[in-house]
């Protein structure tokens, strides 16, 4: 019996083609709530970004944000895992030597050193305003949960990771990557949330479409890739549903008899 379902946002709940959540998905989420099945967001996004998205009329039990590094519900923080301060010091020195746009993400705040065309392109692609400008040195005195470099090559990825030996990364756009703690990830956040709710892995399902969803889809009992996911994500999933714009979530939930309408 499924007791908890985890949903990625971009390309899973939110269509960037229509700039909205499909009506069939909204209907499905309402039915799941009425049945007492917990629904959770599992995203790489920050709480401030989520508030700017057209998700206001959707209600979730909790949120796994920043790729699992910051998890909370209406009662407060369930789990958090900041980046090693030594890694932050080293990446700051590296940016001073070889500048590139970079976001530092705190629990309630995120800021970037500067904007360029690459930043504008990426933010437009995810239907999100440009991040506020700020001094990255703030990261020396505040916990940083995620670092997001923009406008870097594959070669630069490796240079950056050498500065942050306690971290891992995923590329979510041709022009941007997410850097998080080595032992982090959506799957880690999900395990902590399940522990808090006393729910077993056997009672879980998840939907995703991006590279940062792969570990999540492998972890849960039933991992479902959206039809618009790339091949690597589809191969990691237990099954593939239809495209987000063709009622993919609704069809999968109906297939598993979690909704009957």
Indicate the angle between helix axes 248-255 and 23-34, nearest 10 degrees.
40
- Per-residue confidence (pLDDT) for residue 260, from 0 to 100: 84
**Rounded Cα distance, 256 and 123, in Å:** 35
- Per-residue confidence (pLDDT) for residue 87, from 0 to 100: 98
- Per-residue confidence (pLDDT) for residue 80, from 0 to 100: 96
What would the pLDDT profile of 230-251 be if each residue is shown by its tens digit?
999 999 999 999 999 999 999 9
- Per-residue confidence (pLDDT) for residue 125, from 0 to 100: 87
Q: Which CATH class is domain 85-181?
A: alpha beta
- Per-residue confidence (pLDDT) for residue 56, from 0 to 100: 80
Environment class of 133 (CB within 10 Å of its CB; exposed 0-12, middle 13-18, buried 19+) = exposed
Task: Return mean pLDDT, the chain.
Answer: 94
CATH number corresponding to 4-81+184-255: 3.40.50.1000
- Per-residue confidence (pLDDT) for residue 57, from 0 to 100: 85
The pTM of the full predicted model, rounded to 2 decimals, is 0.87
- SS3 sequence of the chain: CCCEEEECCECCCEECCCCECCHHHHHHHHHHHHCCCEEEEECCCCHHHHHCCCCCCCCCCEEEEHHHCEEEECCEEEEECCCCHHHHHHHHHHHHHCCCCEEEECCCCEEECCCCHHHHHHHHHCCCCCCCECCHHHHHCCCCCEEEEECCCHHHHHHHHHHCCCEEEEEEECCEEEEEECCCCHHHHHHHHHHHHCCCHHHEEEEECCHHHHHHHHHCCEEEECCCCCHHHHHHCCEECCCHHHCHHHHHHHHCCCCCC
What would the pLDDT profile of 185-239 be if each residue is shown by its tens digit?
999 999 999 999 999 999 999 999 998 899 999 999 999 999 999 999 999 999 9
Environment class of 17 (CB within 10 Å of its CB; exposed 0-12, middle 13-18, buried 19+) = exposed
For 168-189, what is the mean pLDDT? 91
For 39-67, what is the mean pLDDT? 91
Q: Where are the domains of the chain?
A: 4-81+184-255, 85-181
For 44-55, what is the mean pLDDT? 87
Does the pLDDT value for residue 172 go beyond 90? Answer: no
Q: Which residues are catalytic?
A: 8
């Amino acid at each position: 019996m499924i007791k908890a379902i985890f949903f990625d946002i971009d390309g899973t709940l939110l269509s960037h083609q229509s700039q909205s959540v499909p009506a069939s998905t909204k209907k499905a989420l309402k039915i799941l709530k009425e049945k007492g099945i917990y629904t959770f967001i599992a995203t790489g996004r920050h709480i401030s970004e989520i508030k700017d998205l057209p998700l206001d009329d959707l209600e979730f039990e909790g949120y796994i944000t920043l790729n699992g590094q910051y998890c909370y519900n209406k009662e407060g923080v369930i789990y958090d895992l900041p980046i090693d301060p030594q890694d932050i010091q080293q990446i700051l020195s590296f940016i001073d030597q070889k500048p590139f746009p970079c976001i530092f993400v705190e629990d309630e705040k995120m800021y970037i050193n500067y904007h360029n065309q690459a930043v504008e392109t990426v933010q437009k692609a995810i239907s999100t305003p440009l991040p506020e400008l700020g001094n990255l040195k703030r990261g020396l005195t505040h916990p940083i949960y995620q670092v997001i470099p923009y406008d870097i090559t594959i070669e630069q990825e490796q240079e950056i990771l050498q500065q942050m030996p306690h971290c891992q990364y995923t590329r979510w756009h041709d022009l941007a990557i997410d850097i998080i703690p080595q032992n982090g990830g959506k799957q880690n956040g999900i395990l902590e949330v399940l522990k808090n709710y006393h729910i077993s892995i056997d009672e879980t399902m998840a939907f995703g479409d991006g590279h940062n969803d792969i570990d999540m889809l492998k972890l849960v009992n039933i991992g479902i890739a959206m039809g618009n996911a790339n091949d690597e994500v589809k191969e990691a999933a237990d099954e593939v549903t239809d495209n987000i714009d063709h009622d993919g979530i609704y069809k999968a939930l109906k297939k598993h008899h979690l909704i009957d309408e």
